[in-house]
Amino acid sequence: MLQHDNDVARPTRPPGRGSSRRGFLARAAGAATAAATPALLTGCGTAGGSGSALTFWNFYAPQNTDDPAVRRQARWFVDLVAEWNATHDRRVELVFVPGTTYTDGFKLPSAFAAEAGPDIFLLSPGDFLRYYNGGVLADLTPYLEREAIADFGIALDTRTVDGRVHALPMEVEPLAVYYSVAAFERAGLSEGDIPTTWDQLLDVGDRLRGDTRAGMVFDTEPGYYQNFTWYPWMWQGGGEILGEDGSVTVNSRATRAALQLWQDAVEFGIAPRTLPAAGDVISAFRGDHVAMWQSGIWEVSSFRAYAPDFEYGIFRLPVPDGGTYTTAMGGWAFCANAQGRDPETAAEFCAWALGTMDERCIDRMVEWCVGAKSDIAPRDTVLERGEAAGGYDLWAMRKFKDEILPGGRPEPRYPPVVYKAVSDAIQGAMLAGRDVAGEAERAAASIDAYVRSYEGASLL
């Protein structure tokens, strides 16, 4: 096991404006993405916005989609900004960036590196340190009510540095496995055959697969999302990327076992090398191209809106022998640009939208989590109100809240170099068929070299 000095756990203040910040974000952009994604903008506004309006970048475009769930989510953003603009002097303007450009490209880090980043934007936990260490995440704490901060609980853990909040989560999204009831029945399987162990998962997946149907789908595309979906398999065996003391612990039995599970699923023909239906979960299930797929709670709203008559089931991630059930909890958060045109108003907007005890604030978060979308609310008050309103009455939502969420862990906030080392190990084992021990060892060496000279907020 590789070790390093404990300075990795000692947080520092983010660098200020200037060439160091630009250089940091530019390097981070290059480390995370090998090739550029077209920088297209659609919808209301442009990258620079119009006039004095504060720009709010997001990927919930209100047009050119047949998915009613996406339209509802886009409408939530439109209504949110309209309500703010009706009651505040400094206006906010939505800028819609296509999802793949926003989440997988480097448009966002490139914009910040050029000092042309948005005033308000969405950020996942996995990308938090890239922007915090780059000095572009405003401190939201002065604008938040103490009671509201407590109401968030552990949802703020990966968005907090030295007790200061730098991002406000709008949702919590745990992972589970979805399955086709019809595919189970055709294979002579029932609810009693739902796998609870890794061996059972592979066995059931093998029985479910066909010439044009994958037995089980794990994400295959390298990126923060694939890492997010892989972490719980490592955690279940007691594995960690970094130990509590900051030591590099990725080269462990649990890591190798999780890599081996995904490799076996592919090599035995149970899981495909490319995503069915170009990654469209609902279309893949409806077209009988998949029997089981690991995904998150957000799929419930898509099934409800786009395939209301499709009969599906959900079960917790199976565990290895002697392991402990764990799932990963993702979710996007509002952030304000500390180097923007008006950081104070941008921070005030984030707090107004998600971080007060005002009835309207709580209601709009309920509407997002159980109306526009299907998520676990990140605040206790919002969860209670959403439950009282019937938002978790649907069997799938109730299962996520009562059975899948307990035992969940927030998505880690590793910076690009750490994420890339893990991603390379997953890709090498899963798709290239390389020795899992070698992949874990290479990841450990890369991460250890990085953390020895790392300067920034705690990686944990």
pLDDT of amino acid 11: 26
Sequence-ordered list of residues with C-beta below 8 angstroms from that of 150, at least 6 positions apart, any chain: none
Return the ∠ at Cα 365 (arms to 361 and 367), rounded to 5°: 115
End-to-end CA distance of the chain: 18
Paired with 214 in beta bridges are: 290
CA-based nearest residue to 96, from 114, 125, 70? 70
**Length of the chain counted residue by residue:** 460
- Please give the Cα distance from 344 to 341 (Å, whole number): 9
Tokens 């939208």 found at: 353
Angle between helices 436-452 and 416-430 (to 10 degrees): 170
Query: pLDDT digit string (tens) for 33-66?
Result: 333 222 222 233 334 445 689 999 999 876 556 6
pLDDT of amino acid 440: 98
Q: Consecutive 10-residue runs of the chain (460 residues): their mean pLDDT?
A: 29 28 39 32 38 90 68 93 97 90 79 93 94 96 97 95 98 98 98 97 98 98 95 98 96 98 98 96 97 97 93 98 97 97 98 98 98 97 98 98 96 94 98 98 98 94
> What is the number of other CB atoms lying within 10 angstroms of the CB of residue 22?
16
Spell out the domain ranges in the chain. 6-172+331-396, 174-329+414-452
342 exposure class (CB count in 10 Å sphere: 0-12, 13-18, 19+) = middle
Residue 262 and residue 230 in contact, taking contact as beta carbons nearer than 8 Å:
yes
- Please give the Cα distance from 82 to 78 (Å, whole number): 6
pLDDT of amino acid 62: 64
Stated pTM of the model:
0.88
Residue 123 and residue 332 in contact, taking contact as beta carbons nearer than 8 Å:
yes
pLDDT of amino acid 295: 98
pLDDT of amino acid 28: 42
CA-based nearest residue to 263, from 111, 143, 427? 427
Query: pLDDT digit string (tens) for 229-248?
Result: 999 999 999 999 999 999 99
Distances (CA, A) of 279 to 144, 265, 317, 437: 38, 18, 20, 29
Q: On the CB side of 417, how many CA atoms lie within 13 Å of its CA?
A: 16
Please report the beta strands in 327-457, taking only residues with DSSP state E, as ranges in sequence order. 327-330, 333-336, 408-410
Longest dimension (CA), the chain: 64
CA-based nearest residue to 170, from 105, 73, 255, 100? 73
pLDDT of amino acid 367: 97
Alpha-carbon dihedral sign for residues 135, 137, 138, 140: negative
- For 174-329+414-452, the fitting CATH number among 3.30.230.10, 1.10.10.10, 3.40.190.10, 3.40.50.300 is 3.40.190.10
Return the ∠ at Cα 39 (arms to 38 and 45), rounded to 5°: 145
- Please give the Cα distance from 360 to 151 (Å, whole number): 15
Backbone angles phi, psi at 199, to 5 degrees: -60, -40
pLDDT of amino acid 104: 67
| CATH code of the domain occupying 6-172+331-396 | 3.40.190.10
Tokens 């999780």 found at: 258
Strand 292-296, strand 173-180: pairing = antiparallel
Backbone angles phi, psi at 63, to 5 degrees: -140, 170
- Tokens encoding 46: 């442009």
Q: On the CB side of 366, how many CA atoms lie within 13 Å of its CA?
A: 20
Sequence-ordered list of residues with C-beta below 8 angstroms from that of 299, at least 6 positions apart, any chain: 178, 281, 282, 374
CA-based nearest residue to 98, from 128, 74, 132, 131? 74
Residue 344 and residue 180 in contact, taking contact as beta carbons nearer than 8 Å:
no
- Please give the Cα distance from 250 to 279 (Å, whole number): 29
**Any alpha helices (H) in 307-371, and if so which ranges?**
343-354, 359-367
Residue 412 and residue 125 in contact, taking contact as beta carbons nearer than 8 Å:
yes
pLDDT of amino acid 98: 84
Residue 187 and residue 208 in contact, taking contact as beta carbons nearer than 8 Å:
yes
Query: pLDDT digit string (tens) for 200-210?
Result: 999 999 999 99
